[in-house]
Amino acid sequence: MHDGDVVGAEPEVVQARLDNQCQVLQEAWQTHLTDGRPASLDRFRGAAATLSVMAKEQELARISELALMLEVMCGAVVEGEEPVTEEFQDTITHYLRSLGAQCRQAMYRPAPPPQPAAQVLALTDSQALADDVEQQLGHFGYELIHVASTAEMEQCLRRTPPRVVMLDPERLGGPDVVIDLADRLREQLGGELPILLVTDSPSMETRLAAARAGLAAYLLKPVSFDELVDLLALFQPDRQPEPYRILVVEDSPTQARYISTVLERAGMSVTVVGNPMEVLEVLEARNVDLILTDMYMPDCTGYELASVIRQIPRHASIPIVYLSGETKLERQLRAMSRGGDDFLTKPIEPDHLVQAISIRAERGRMLRGMMVTDGLTGLLNHTRLKEELEAEVARAQRRSSTVSFAMIDLDYFKGVNDTFGHAAGDRVLKTLAGLLRQRLRRTDSIGRYGGEEFGVILPDADVEEAIKVLDRIRQRFADIRHAGPEGPFRVTFSAGVASYPDCSDATQLTMEADMALYAAKRAGRNAIRAGRPSRG
């Protein structure tokens, strides 16, 4: 019987095979401890690889991950990159103990059912509301299905389970009915179903009913469209959060390989630096959410590195976490007093490492977000946008590539504020911000340059490519109807685009894009123009 033959087997068979392979792994390690030869360690590594594959086929992620860690950690030693140290042996023993416990408790679990396709299902008797939302959502690539009764909704649920449901409690008969319906929907569809409440009532009773029903959001009529779009973006099935960007500073190839493998398997983007003297150069070349550093390294200790990083204002908010075998509390506290945010002690469980890094990286990202984003739109603020543009131009220079910069300005925006009020104007700004976020790439940077002006950085795109992308957004935005006190209205924007290397630096890029923007304004607005090459 091959290792893959256990797929679909009875739970007892799966358990027996896992127990047997764990025993093989334990015996291979004891054999290596006895003779110490590379060949015996290589056999141990092979046994770990076999167990990892077997567990992965049975969707036992925890066992598969632990076995993979053992395989990865042995790689550098088997390949002669590092000697067998006491720390290495202690770490292997620690993971073998955890792995044995996991194998003894393993349970066979069938594969989860496939996720249903994304869909917005609205139960409301307001045809005007449904029509308005449906038309607006279409500009952002969403589909809305409007039903007027629970019976009709049940029919839709049987055909295609939704990803999001919008409920109107007035149509259903009151808050109590909403609770019952929400519970029934979750029971019928399984899992967590995002349900949005759309209501005229701001009362505490209705809000309490929504909270008890576990609803995802509470929206008052008339629906704030930009708020609705932001919510729907959170619930898209294919939505992937941006990976945490982790910089690992570790002079041991074995530890560096182990740490990077654990974090990458958790979905993080990891950059490894073996020499702490190169860290500042790496930080200038890329953005990171967290620095994970060893304490004791040649030429520069971890806490000395933290002190140097904290000297640079741009890097002052990056969380720094130490990962070391140091167990003396006074030394840990001393290291943290020099600019560190947390201290993790080796050996560390993969789950603990991932959780600790995720928490710190998320907090760091939130803190930096508050420092560098515009309060109304959530886009980069003016200062941060300029920093990003300078960094992207520097990257383009190093890679001999291109980067474009666009200046966008809403047409006749003063008239929008004067005619419809500043609240309506703010909604227009947020709608454009949301459309730019959705329609541009994750690698593009978007900022509010000031007032009704926006800036967009498009790496690896020349002027023609940038104009093509932005022109599609311009046409889409011009079709959106914005809510005003006297009825819906439309707004357009104009833009100017320039690129490097046609322009020599970030300052020239900004100037040329700005002049191109005003050329678009003079041409009649609702247009995009290219800047002139200005090298030299």
Order of all β-strands in the sheet with 245-249: 269-273, 245-249, 290-293, 320-324, 342-345
Q: Are domains 245-370 and 382-530 of this chain identical in fold?
A: no
Order of all β-strands in the sheet with 217-220: 144-147, 120-123, 164-167, 195-199, 217-220
Q: Which of 5-14, 24-33, 355-364, 433-442 has the least mean pLDDT?
A: 5-14
Which of 178, 63, 169, 73 has the alpha carbon at shortest distance from 125?
A: 169
Please give the pLDDT value at position 133: 64
Share of the chain above pLDDT 70, in %: 81
Mean pLDDT (the chain, rounded): 80
Element (H, E) at 453: strand 453-459
Top-confidence residue, 427 or 224: 427
Tell me: pLDDT of 26 over 80. Answer: yes
Cross-strand partners of 455: 407, 447
Q: Which of 73-87, 188-202, 378-392 has the least mean pLDDT?
A: 188-202
User: Phi/psi zone of residue 517: left (φ > 0), alpha (ψ -120 to 50 degrees), beta?
Assistant: alpha
CATH code that applies to domain 3-104: 1.20.120.160
Structure confidence by residue, pLDDT tens digits, 170-212: 767 766 677 777 777 767 666 566 777 777 778 887 788 777 7
382-530: CATH topology: Alpha-Beta Plaits (3.30.70)
Please give the pLDDT value at position 113: 42
DSSP, residue by residue, 127-178: HHHHHHHHHHHHHTT--EEEESSHHHHHHHHHHS--SEEEE-HHHHTSHHHH
Tell me: pLDDT of 531 over 80. Answer: yes
120-234: CATH topology: Rossmann fold (3.40.50)
Highest mean pLDDT among 124-128, 299-303, 435-439, 473-477: 473-477
Radius of gyration of the chain (CA): 28
Domain ranges of the chain: 3-104, 120-234, 245-370, 382-530
Q: Which of 47-51, 121-125, 195-199, 467-471 has the least mean pLDDT?
A: 121-125
Please give the pLDDT value at position 1: 35
Cross-strand partners of 97: none
Please, what is the Cα angle at 10 between 9 and 16, to 5 degrees?
90
Cα gap 474→481, rounded to integer Å: 14
Top-confidence residue, 239 or 261: 261
Cα gap 178→205, rounded to integer Å: 12
Average pLDDT over residues 94-118: 57
Top-confidence residue, 336 or 514: 514
Cα gap 120→313, rounded to integer Å: 45
SS (H, E, C) 166-207: EECHHHHCCHHHHHHHHHHHHHHHCCCCCEEEEECCCCHHHH
Please give the pLDDT value at position 115: 40
Average pLDDT over residues 324-345: 73
Cα gap 51→308, rounded to integer Å: 43
The CATH homologous superfamily for domain 245-370 is Response regulator (3.40.50.2300)
C-alpha distances in Å from residue 438, one per residue of 195, 243, 489: 22, 18, 22
Structure confidence by residue, pLDDT tens digits, 240-299: 567 899 999 998 888 888 888 889 988 899 999 999 999 998 888 778 899 999 888 888
Please give the pLDDT value at position 89: 82
Residue partners of 515: CB distance under 8 A and separation at least 6:
496, 531, 532
Highest mean pLDDT among 54-63, 434-443, 459-468, 483-492: 459-468
DSSP, residue by residue, 29-70: HHHHHHH--HHHHHHHHHHHHHHHHHHHHTT-HHHHHHHHHH
SS3 content of the chain, % helix, strand, coil (to 5): 55, 15, 30
Q: Which of 99-103, 115-119, 342-346, 513-517 has the least mean pLDDT?
A: 115-119
Structure confidence by residue, pLDDT tens digits, 402-441: 999 999 999 999 999 999 888 889 889 988 998 898 888 8
| pLDDT interval class at 388 (50, 70, 90) | confident
Highest mean pLDDT among 84-88, 243-247, 316-320: 243-247
Structure confidence by residue, pLDDT tens digits, 139-161: 666 777 777 777 777 777 767 66
Please give the pLDDT value at position 4: 39
| pLDDT interval class at 57 (50, 70, 90) | confident
Contact 235, 163 (CB under 8 A): yes
Tokens describing residue 400? 């001999």
Please give the pLDDT value at position 136: 66
Tell me: pLDDT of 110 over 70. Answer: no
Q: Which of 109-123, 274-288, 319-333, 487-501 has the least mean pLDDT?
A: 109-123
| pLDDT interval class at 2 (50, 70, 90) | very low
